[in-house]
Amino acid sequence: MFPVQQLMKTDLRCYPMNKQLHTVSGIFNNVIPLNQVVSRMVNTSLSAARYHKTNLVNEVELGIALGTAMQHAIGIMNEILTAIVANSNNGEIHITADRYQDIVTLEFQERNNNNGYALAYSIGSIEPVAASIGGHISIKYPQQKITTISFSFPDSILAA
């Protein structure tokens, strides 16, 4: 069996949990670090990743946090990761995130893409759902060995 790794740049235990995080849409007492959301998604994908001999690497920084009303965006993130893992083989998937003013962008980089057409089709079927919440999914280099899938969504869906 090929070992599945879950790597994080920052250890969550070092972060004071009673401290408020600055989210995209302001300061909230009840926030979820995006790193933690991605860690949970990675954990639920471990058995499928192990089956596909794929490593999952969480590189999301702790500075980005989501409000508690992010169920739709989290569901879309999970669908994207599931599609990427299902189409992977002996790969490595690195997950990063950035915040640009009122937009959060989560990037999934598949570093050994062997099934580009199927991956593009799977991701394309998720795009209408992302658009319904004001988000956008894009794929860079779907037919190359290194493929990047980006999911961008506005902070307006963060407020409940």
Render pLDDT for 25-80 as a digit per residue (tens, 0 to 9).
444 456 788 999 999 999 999 999 999 999 999 999 988 888 766 788 899 999 99
* CATH class of this structure's domain 6-157: alpha beta
pTM, rounded to two decimals: 0.78
> What pLDDT shows up at residue 160?
36
pLDDT tops 80 at residue 16: no
What are the b/e assignments for 30-51, b being 16+ CB within 10 Å? ebbbbbbbbbebbeebeebbbe
Q: Which two tokens stand for residue 11?
A: 């250890």
Question: Are 6 and 58 a contacting pair, CB within 8 Å?
Answer: yes
Q: Where are the domains of the chain?
A: 6-157
**Helices and strands (H, E) in the chain, number of each type:** 3, 10
Reported as a pLDDT band with limits 50, 70 and 90, residue 86 is very high
Distance from the first to the final alpha carbon of the chain: 43
Query: Taking residues 84-109, what's their average pLDDT?
Result: 93
